[in-house]
Amino acid sequence: MLHRRFGISELFVCESTAQCAISNPQKNSWEEMENFIDQGNYIPKYVFALPDNQFAIELQHKFNLDLRTRDAHFVLQEFE
């Protein structure tokens, strides 16, 4: 699994499927993170955030992602 940090946001990528999970997305670091996703042709699948993270909700709707507010550890096991 590939792991990359963008400020306080994190990106987890399954190298065999190219699916990725975005953790704690922040608007101020999104452009850099989005460029990294685009350059690697990664497929956003999940977003993990606290329920009050409005930017995570925006990403959920933009990319039709599965928004998770808990149990992230169990979902990430699918990537390994």
Any idea where the domains of the chain sit in the sequence?
Answer: 2-74
- List per-residue pLDDT tens for the chain, 80 residues long: 899 999 999 999 999 999 999 999 999 999 999 999 999 999 999 898 888 889 999 999 998 988 877 655 555 556 55
CA dihedral 53, 55, 58, 59 (to 10 degrees): -100
